[in-house]
Amino acid sequence: MFALPEPPLDAIASLGHSEYERDFLRREFEPGLQYYADRLRRLMFAGGRLLDAGCGAGQWSLAASPVFERVDAFDINLPRLDVTRRLARQLGIRNVAIAAGSIESLPYAPESFDAILCYGVIVFTDIAAALEQFNRVLKPGGRVYVCLSADGWSHFLIRERGPAEPRVADIGRQTLYNAYWRRASQRGIARQLRRVLAQLREMHPRGAALRRLTATDSQQLARRSLLSLELGQQLFGQVESFCGPEFVTKLLADAWVVATDDAAPQRSLKADALLPNELEALTEQAGFEAFQWSIEGGLTCDWLQPPLAPKYEGYYEGHLSVWEAMFVKPDTRPAAAADLSRHELAAIAARSGRLFLEPGEVTVLSNASVDTFPRELFERARRIGVRLGGSKYLDLLVKAATTGATSEADAMTRLLEFVQRSIFRDPVSQPLTADGGMPDPLTILMSARGRCSHTTALLIDVFTRAGLEARPRQLTNHVIAEVKVDGRWVIADADAFKNGIVLRNRGGQLLSLDDVRDDPYQLDRYQPTGWWIRPGSRFTTGATGRQVTGYVDALDPAERGFVSGYYNASARGYPPPLPLIDHFEVSSGRLIVEWKPARDQRSRDVRYRVAVGSASRGWTYDAPGMGDQIRRTPQRDVCYVETAETRVDVPIDATAPRLYVSVTACNERVEVEPETFFWPSEEVVVDR
């Protein structure tokens, strides 16, 4: 585990040779090296050799040093590299190699690095050249993380920091000026200006005698040329509004040069502001794939980690400001040997309750659109599948899962459990192809996330490979697989039911749709573990660190209804909501528990089951996990009471120092199915 000492901030700042540098060092090291290490963990950046391209004073390099074999800290600024070197020495770090130069021509051999980090640098360089270099020095399959700024950052510098720091405001204006020109150039403004200027010159009183034109003449002509073009008007308006009057003069001079000398506009500062589609096009030109982006701090590959506060705001006054991107150098190497543990790892990495957020001015939860599952993860899943051998790998998995099976039913349940454990229900960010379609079964498996249609597609594929007949069945708001076992078509559901819940009829046989048609309620004896539940509406802290609401409401079991209703429309019904315990105590050998009535408009008689145990059931709704533990019901070894009241007061003679209390609300559904499963309340702990 990472345990680098954090050098004192004052000592770091004192390494700066100017006030500006001391401020810079203070700002960059203030979050602490652990913060940077945590950010790298969320990107799953670890292992092999990392290039910190434009490392500055080296905080990312130092933070990365414990998880990479080697880190190359590279920058054009020698005093900053010196700070990196001194800090590494102070901290006893030996695997950070320091080198100076420009990222536009890297001094490293092809395919040297496993990953590249480039934070706050690329907009100061020739971006196409830097990306080409990244592609050259990266190994196939290696990833690049880039953090950069768009227009909002310049607006922020001008408006917020500008009044106290005129130099900073000027950087903001120059950057916007460069970006506006670049965009106009990409849309062909040079050609258009040349054409218009030629026409205007012909009409000018002093004709084509260009050399005799005064500066005022050329300014006027440049202005008229610009304003006669739609693109020119846009450029003129942007420069006038956001860069200021002195830049209008520069704009006219540059327009003149562009139109008459076929030259690029003068850039007094090498800085640009890029939007995601602009960088994406450049990464594709440089040979990368799987581009994905987010506002700063939003990208995550490790869904098990809680989000971290970003370093910068993603938007300023409606303009995208600081943002980040990740992309991959394609890996076309031949498939490696099949290895089950890789699949397990993919599944573990993807299992969590995190919701994917579409970053924007207002953070929104995505639902079932193609962009909700991060493209990078999707592409990685697809590539891993191909690398593992594609369809042949699925054959191997099926063989591994069914080897030793003693019957068709045994093979079927093994495969069902395999898929139940592999695909974690994710109602929000389900993997879909770029055109919104269902991915191939292996990509579904490697993505490890999905909904009923994903599990059904995968189940049918693996059953068929195992030699069983299988087909999809569309139900009310649900899709399942049916598989023929010993001559009977039976249900395989790896979406509503997880963790080894194999449905059986009252006779103990695998459950069929015929059984469900005759007696739908027997389905409700099983815990619907794939249908996520939370007590009431709660806020969720999203990837950007903001709180969002929206999805969890629908996941209350009282809103969802019983599973039987999804299989058979005639069985519609709703369980009561979870009871909320609001008072509990043990005194003079008696246990008193009170709860709020779990009123359910749809059911008349709500009854309560109060279970008191000496051990915890081991899970909470806030972090229910996906493992077997959620199948554990409340312990009732100390006391168990059924009541229609909202209070119990019972004698307790247990010696356990702690008691665990749950209350479960039940309704009239128990009359048609006495074993109906109802979710228990959050567990409370009573210390004696």
Ligand X SMILES: C[S@@+](CC[C@H](N)C(=O)[O-])C[C@H]1O[C@@H](n2cnc3c(N)ncnc32)[C@H](O)[C@@H]1O
Q: How many CB atoms lie within 10 A of CB 338?
A: 17
What DSSP string describes 305-349? SPP---SS-SEETTEE-EEEEEEE----PPPPPP-HHHHHHHHHH
Nearer to ligand X, 61 or 238 (CB): 61
Measured in degrees and rounded to the nearest 5, phi and psi for residue 642 equal -110, 135
Nearer to ligand X, 279 or 558 (CB): 279
Q: Cβ 28 to ligand X, closest distance in Å?
A: 5
**Environment class of residue 623 by beta-carbon count within 10 Å: exposed (0-12), middle (13-18) or buried (19+)?**
exposed
Give the binding range for ligand X (CB under 6 A) out of 99-107, 175-183, 379-387, 448-456: 99-107
Q: Quick one: tokens of 36?
A: 């940077």
Give the binding range for ligand X (CB under 6 A) out of 54-62, 87-95, 608-616, 629-637: 54-62
Which three-class secondary structure state does DSSP give residue 115? strand
Residue 80 is a binding residue for ligand X (CB under 6 A):
yes
Residue 635 is a binding residue for ligand X (CB under 6 A):
no
For strand 113-119 and strand 49-53, is the pairing parallel, antiparallel, or unpaired?
parallel
Q: How many CB atoms lie within 10 A of CB 292?
A: 20
Residue 102 is a binding residue for ligand X (CB under 6 A):
yes
Which of 165, 173, 191, 319 shows the shortest CA–CA distance to 251?
Answer: 173
With contacts defined by CB under 6 A, how many residues of the chain interact with ligand X? 17
Torsion from C-alpha of 434, 436, 442, 447, nearest 10 degrees: 80
Q: Cβ 546 to ligand X, closest distance in Å?
A: 23
Residue 76 is a binding residue for ligand X (CB under 6 A):
yes
Give the binding range for ligand X (CB under 6 A) out of 15-23, 73-81, 176-184, 646-654: 73-81
Measured in degrees and rounded to the nearest 5, phi and psi for residue 48 equal 80, -140
What DSSP string describes 244-306? -HHHHHHHHHHHHHHHHH--PPP-SS------HHHHHHHHHHTT-EEEEEEETT---S-TTSP
CA–CA distance, 264 with 193 (Å, rounded to integer): 13
Q: Cβ 53 to ligand X, closest distance in Å?
A: 7
Residue 575 is a binding residue for ligand X (CB under 6 A):
no
Give the binding range for ligand X (CB under 6 A) out of 97-105, 225-233, 546-554, 626-634: 97-105
Nearer to ligand X, 56 or 298 (CB): 56
Nearer to ligand X, 316 or 595 (CB): 316
Query: Could you tell me if 458 and 444 are in contact, meaning their C-beta atoms sit under 8 angstroms apart?
Result: yes
Query: Could you tell me if 683 and 662 are in contact, meaning their C-beta atoms sit under 8 angstroms apart?
Result: yes
Give the binding range for ligand X (CB under 6 A) out of 96-104, 253-261, 322-330, 486-494: 96-104
Nearer to ligand X, 272 or 524 (CB): 272
Residue 82 is a binding residue for ligand X (CB under 6 A):
no
Residue 77 is a binding residue for ligand X (CB under 6 A):
yes
Residue 509 is a binding residue for ligand X (CB under 6 A):
no
Give the binding range for ligand X (CB under 6 A) out of 71-79, 153-161, 183-191, 565-573: 71-79
Nearer to ligand X, 125 or 646 (CB): 125
Residue 108 is a binding residue for ligand X (CB under 6 A):
no
| Dihedral sign computed on CA atoms, order 610, 612, 615, 620 | positive
Nearest residue by C-beta to ligand X? Answer: 56
Residue 104 is a binding residue for ligand X (CB under 6 A):
yes
Instruction: Lay out the sheet containing 590-595: strands in order across.
Output: 581-587, 590-595, 647-651
In the list 54, 297, 450, 565, the residue contacting ligand X (rule: CB under 6 A) is 54
Q: Cβ 311 to ligand X, closest distance in Å?
A: 9
Q: Quick one: tokens of 504?
A: 């059986």
For strand 590-595 and strand 647-651, is the pairing parallel, antiparallel, or unpaired?
antiparallel
Give the binding range for ligand X (CB under 6 A) out of 75-83, 415-423, 656-664, 667-675: 75-83
Nearer to ligand X, 236 or 312 (CB): 312
CA–CA distance, 145 with 282 (Å, rounded to integer): 14
Residue 103 is a binding residue for ligand X (CB under 6 A):
yes
Residue 72 is a binding residue for ligand X (CB under 6 A):
no
Distance from CA of residue 625 to its chain's centroid?
Answer: 18
Residue 55 is a binding residue for ligand X (CB under 6 A):
yes
In the list 33, 49, 50, 56, the residue contacting ligand X (rule: CB under 6 A) is 56
Nearer to ligand X, 272 or 683 (CB): 272
Give the binding range for ligand X (CB under 6 A) out of 38-46, 113-121, 225-233, 575-583: 113-121
Rg, Å, the chain Cα set: 32
Residue numbers 206-265 binding ligand X by CB under 6 A: none
Q: Quick one: tokens of 222?
A: 């440049």
Contact mark string toward ligand X, 118..137, x via CB under 6 A: -xxx--xx------------
Residue 307 is a binding residue for ligand X (CB under 6 A):
no
Residue 28 is a binding residue for ligand X (CB under 6 A):
yes
Give the binding range for ligand X (CB under 6 A) out of 102-110, 160-168, 349-357, 589-597: 102-110
Q: Specify the DSSP class assigned to residue 633.
A: P
Please report, for residues 520, 643, 667, the alpha-carbon distance to residue 605 in angstroms, rounded to integers and kept in the order given. Answer: 21, 11, 6
Residue 311 is a binding residue for ligand X (CB under 6 A):
no
Nearer to ligand X, 83 or 492 (CB): 83
Residues engaged in binding ligand X (CB under 6 A): 28, 54-56, 60, 75-77, 80, 102-104, 119-121, 124-125
